[in-house]
């Protein structure tokens, strides 16, 4: 008989109350002896992450753990924001079938013999990563890690004002940590956008780094203003609802990566965005709203179910801090939609400062991974 996934989530007055409730929930059924545990805690418990990990490791007799801190955490049908809370999932995966790695901070870390041996042994086609929002080189590290093992990566960037610790069998900090899985691990991954296009695709004809000067040989700010006015919002810059979407080259699904509009220069008709852009890149303007977010979430869940080769056993969900109640109206509505569409299965996850899907960092998305 195939071992089952188990999950628990809880909130409480302090870390001890939360950790005790998690352990009590999980110990209502026998847990697998060979397993990988995922642990996500809210920012209110960031300073207590080590204590929670030590407590749960002892109570549950589970050695291997990964996780991080988020503004919010989630479980099946439930999300928690602004309170001490945590979410755990125990996956019955043999330790020989995964490799946990501590933060990759330099090129030497990527070339480390232990990591190289793990990649050769596992031949990983899937991995989970957690990142530090203050690590500027994480994108390059992410791309190189994905390339080394031809690995599809998912995950997210820690969030919170009280630090961004991660778990890689112990509490660690900096850059990217995570876990690589053997090629026998079967998953299906879906990504849901929260933004809808408001105009056509444009080509950058003048610009560099994060500055856009012209689009299709027209002043970039002029193009932006005309499209926002056509969308019915003349105060588009101040609203914070409009962003720039960088079109993913070669995507057959119209995939795009959203970047924030950081500022404008009305005298020179320039726009600054929170991402690199070069001449020849294609972009479009998008609007973030709750209706679009819910529609795309349901679309993603429907597409995932069509692709499933079997019943999912467990799930990981990495969402954006700007989603949750900000887009869906109530704290748990996003998670209730997922539960209603795919069923009440063991699930854990968090709300971070950015999401990882394949070898890219996204914003305003939800990335759902189903273990089959």
What pLDDT is stored for residue 229 in this prediction? 84
Residue closest to 79 by CA, chosen among 343, 352, 289, 298: 352
Tokens of 85: 């809370």
Q: Cβ distance 316 to 369 under 8 Å?
A: yes
Tokens of 25: 């929930």
Domain ranges of the chain: 6-192+294-371, 195-288
Between CA 341 and CA 329 the distance in angstroms is 18
Q: Tell me if the pTM is above 0.85.
A: yes
What pLDDT is stored for residue 303 in this prediction? 94
What pLDDT is stored for residue 2 in this prediction? 67
Specify the DSSP class assigned to residue 9.
E
What pLDDT is stored for residue 3 in this prediction? 80
Q: At what angle do helices 15-26 and 49-60 cross, to 10 degrees?
A: 30
At residue 305, the 3 state secondary structure works out as helix
Between CA 51 and CA 123 the distance in angstroms is 34
Q: Cβ distance 165 to 172 under 8 Å?
A: yes
Q: Could you report the average pLDDT of every consecutive run of 10 residues in the chain (372 residues)? A: 88 98 96 96 96 98 97 97 97 97 89 94 96 81 88 94 90 94 95 91 93 95 89 65 87 79 90 91 92 94 92 96 92 96 96 93 95 96
Between CA 253 and CA 283 the distance in angstroms is 15
Report which secondary-structure segment, H or E, holds 174. Answer: none
Q: At what angle do helices 113-122 and 138-149 cross, to 10 degrees?
A: 40
Half-sphere exposure of 4 (CA within 13 A, CB side): 9
Q: Cβ distance 197 to 242 under 8 Å?
A: no
- Count other Cβ atoms within 10 Å, centred on residue 261: 19
Q: CA separation (Å) from 44 to 38, 71, 211? A: 18, 8, 37
What pLDDT is stored for residue 88 in this prediction? 98
Tokens of 17: 């109350």
What pLDDT is stored for residue 33 in this prediction? 87
Between CA 63 and CA 32 the distance in angstroms is 12
């Amino acid at each position: 008989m195939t071992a089952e996934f188990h999950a628990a989530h809880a909130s409480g007055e302090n870390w001890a109350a939360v950790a005790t409730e998690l352990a009590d929930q999980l110990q209502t059924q026998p847990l697998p002896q060979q397993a990988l545990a995922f642990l996500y805690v809210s920012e209110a418990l960031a300073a207590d992450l080590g204590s929670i990990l030590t407590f749960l490791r002892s109570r549950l007799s589970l050695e291997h753990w990964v996780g991080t801190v988020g503004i919010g955490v989630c479980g099946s049908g439930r999300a928690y924001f602004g309170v001490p809370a945590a979410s755990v999932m125990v996956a019955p995966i043999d330790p020989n079938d995964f490799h946990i790695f501590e933060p990759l901070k330099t090129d030497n870390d990527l070339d480390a013999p232990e990591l190289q041996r793990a990649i050769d042994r596992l031949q990983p086609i899937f991995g989970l990563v957690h990142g530090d929002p203050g690590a500027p080189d994480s994108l390059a590290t992410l791309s190189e890690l994905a390339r080394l093992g031809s690995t599809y990566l998912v995950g997210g960037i820690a969030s919170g004002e009280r630090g961004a610790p991660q778990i890689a069998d112990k509490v660690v900090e900096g850059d990217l940590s995570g876990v690589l899985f053997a090629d026998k691990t079967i998953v299906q991954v879906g990504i849901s956008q929260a933004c809808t296009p408001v105009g056509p695709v444009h080509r950058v004809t003048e610009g560099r780094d994060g500055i856009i000067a012209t689009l299709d040989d027209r002043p970039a700010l002029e193009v932006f203003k005309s499209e926002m006015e056509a969308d019915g919002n003349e105060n588009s810059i101040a609203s914070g609802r409009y962003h720039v979407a960088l079109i993913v080259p070669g995507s057959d699904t119209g995939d795009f990566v959203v970047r924030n509009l950081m500022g404008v220069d009305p005298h020179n008709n320039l726009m600054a965005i929170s991402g690199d852009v070069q001449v020849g890149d294609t972009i479009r303007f998008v609007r973030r709203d709750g209706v679009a977010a819910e529609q795309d979430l349901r679309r993603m869940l429907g597409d995932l179910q069509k692709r499933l080769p079997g019943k999912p056993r467990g799930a990981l969900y990495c969402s954006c801090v700007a989603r949750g109640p900000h887009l869906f109206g109530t704290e748990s509505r996003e998670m209730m939609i997922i539960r209603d569409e795919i069923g009440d299965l063991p699930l854990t996850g968090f709300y971070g400062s950015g999401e990882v899907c394949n070898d890219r960092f996204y914003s305003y998305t939800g990335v759902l991974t189903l273990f089959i």
